[in-house]
Amino acid sequence: KRHFAAPKIAPNPISAVAPPVIVKMVGCLKVVKSPNENEKCRTFVMDDQDHTLGNALRYMIMKNPEVRFCGYAIPHPSERKVHLRIETRGITAVEALKKGLQDLHKMSEHMLKEFEETVEKHKTKDVMNVE
């Protein structure tokens, strides 16, 4: 009879790493931190959001020269949740997120103002053409 030794199972390196921890919650925003990360690398989870905010915010954040990487993912199509990952050089990831949100807000206000002015011009033009 042959005897086979039980195979040795190597420890799983993924399970050896501590899971990410939610550091802070602000409204619908969760700040997630893994144990091996510093202040310049963060993942932010935004509840009740989709590609509209994710892509616009990613674009605005990547315009910042202090940002090394910014990307987002929707974990599942049926979940309204955006995972936004930011990695920076000189500033913290939280500062990069704040600046990106402020820049996106300014741009949105400018676009809304331009849109409303254009609508008013066309309304005035149409009224003058009717008379």
Which residues have C-beta within 8 Å of that of residue 40, sequence separation ≥ 6? Answer: 87, 88, 89, 91, 92, 93
Look at domain 18-125 and name its CATH class. alpha beta
* Model pLDDT, residue 64: 97
> Does 65 score more than 50 pLDDT?
yes
What distance in Å separates the CA atoms of residue 69 and residue 118, rounded to the nearest whole number?
A: 36
Domain ranges of the chain: 18-125
- Whole-prediction pTM value? 0.72
* Model pLDDT, residue 15: 47
Mean pLDDT of 66-87: 94
pLDDT > 70 in the chain, percent: 75
Give residue 86's identity as a one-letter amino acid code: I
> Does 3 score more than 80 pLDDT?
no
* Model pLDDT, residue 126: 67
* Model pLDDT, residue 129: 64
Kind and range of the H or E run holding 58: helix 51-62
* Model pLDDT, residue 83: 94
pLDDT one-digit tens code per residue, 93-117: 999 999 999 999 999 999 999 999 9
